[in-house]
Amino acid sequence: MKMSRRILGLAAILAAGHATADITLTGRSTVMSMNMPATSQERVYLKKSWLRRDQLDRGKAYTYIYDLHSHEISVLDHSLRQLQTYEMTAPANTPEAHIAHKDLKLDLEPTGLKHTLGTWNCVEYGMEASMPAELGPEKVLLELSGKVWLAKNTREQKELQPFFKAMDSPDFLLGIPAFAKSSPAQTRALGEILRRLFNQGMVCAIGVELKYEGGGRMADLARRIGSSLNLVYDNVALDPVPEEFFAVPPGYMPVRR
């Protein structure tokens, strides 16, 4: 659950801004961490400057509410009825975050495969990415490889341009700070990859494996621990989403970090 919540928190930010279209995406995700898989259900609601992501992870329900105007992320733990609030850009103004933005290399190559998701025409791309990172005292190379499905030139992509413009900065955090602390290199790399992908098209699905290359003990240990992310959306709906969906319900206790 830990890796699932911190990494997929990144993948949830597909759009927001001053859009006229409301979007609901429904799908599923699987994260492999420490050679152990975790599968969860995903639902994402988009409206104006808000995004809401609902996740059911091994019987526990969580909600993430992103507010582009206030630059805050609200995390709701429904089983404990607890609320934690984060600033989107808090850890993004660090030297490490800017290095990740500058030094990450991302290559996409179309495979020729296509499928539809509602009105979207999703095209498959082979993806290869890498960035310098550190594991303890060791300098390593973090490599990510896999596939991504993108729907380009959609009506929703055009209407959501204000949000993508806001994302087009290393200061815009695509994750949750508390989760980023435990795996900063992977979080920064995935965040930067997703940020770049969302500026090219709507993400229909993504599947990526992560590994470290280096000659030290930490890199050798990391190679033995499987890490991967798979996120697939099965349905997209364009029905109106009530604004009440993006409000924190009463009775939730704020928790200090």
For residues 120 and 99, give the distance between their C-alpha atoms in angstroms, rounded to a whole number.
Answer: 34
What the block records as the tokens of 23 is: 């979007």
The answer to whether 186 and 7 have CB atoms below 8 angstroms apart is yes
Task: Read off the pLDDT of each residue in 191-199 and give the average, rounded to a whole number.
Answer: 79
What the block records as the tokens of 149 is: 């499905």
Stretch among 75-79, 183-187, 201-205, 232-236 having the lowest mean pLDDT = 183-187
Q: How high is the pLDDT of residue 77?
A: 93
| Strands 82-87 and 253-254, sheet pairing | parallel
Angle between helices 2-11 and 184-198 (to 10 degrees): 20
pTM to 2 decimals? 0.76
Q: How high is the pLDDT of residue 2?
A: 45
Q: How high is the pLDDT of residue 232?
A: 92
> Which value, in Å, is the radius of gyration of the alpha carbons in the chain?
18
Nearest to 192 by CA among 109, 86, 124, 102: 102
Higher pLDDT, 192 or 92: 192
* Structural domains of the chain, count: 1
For residues 249 and 251, give the distance between their C-alpha atoms in angstroms, rounded to a whole number.
Answer: 7
Q: How high is the pLDDT of residue 180?
A: 52
Domain assignment of residue 249, given as a range: 2-254
| Strands 60-67 and 138-151, sheet pairing | unpaired
| Local structure of residue 34 (DSSP, 8 states) | T
Please check the confidence at residue 170 and state whether its pLDDT lies above 90.
Answer: no
For residues 232 and 119, give the distance between their C-alpha atoms in angstroms, rounded to a whole number.
Answer: 16
Q: How confident is the model at residue 175 (pLDDT cuts 50, 70, 90)?
A: low
Q: How high is the pLDDT of residue 8?
A: 47
Quickly count: other Cβ atoms within 10 Å of residue 91's Cβ: 20
The answer to whether 133 and 141 have CB atoms below 8 angstroms apart is yes
Provide the residue count of the chain.
257
Amino acid identity at 32: M
Task: Read off the pLDDT of each residue in 213-241 and give the average, rounded to a whole number.
Answer: 84
Instruction: Give the alpha-carbon dihedral of 30, 130, 197, 168, to 10 degrees.
Output: 120
Please check the confidence at residue 158 and state whether its pLDDT lies above 80.
Answer: no
pLDDT digits (tens, 9 = 90+) for 22-60: 889 999 888 776 667 778 888 989 887 788 989 887 778
Q: How confident is the model at residue 163 (pLDDT cuts 50, 70, 90)?
A: low
pLDDT digits (tens, 9 = 90+) for 61-115: 999 898 877 878 899 999 999 999 887 765 445 555 555 567 789 999 999 999 9
Please check the confidence at residue 137 and state whether its pLDDT lies above 70.
Answer: yes
Q: How high is the pLDDT of residue 244?
A: 93
For residues 232 and 147, give the distance between their C-alpha atoms in angstroms, rounded to a whole number.
Answer: 11
CATH, residue 92: 2.50.20.10
For residues 25 and 23, give the distance between their C-alpha atoms in angstroms, rounded to a whole number.
Answer: 7
Q: Which ranges in 59-204 belong to alpha helices (H)? A: 95-103, 155-159, 161-167, 177-180, 184-198
Please check the confidence at residue 178 and state whether its pLDDT lies above 80.
Answer: no
Q: How high is the pLDDT of residue 157?
A: 78
Task: Read off the pLDDT of each residue in 201-211 and give the average, rounded to a whole number.
Answer: 90
Q: How high is the pLDDT of residue 13?
A: 44
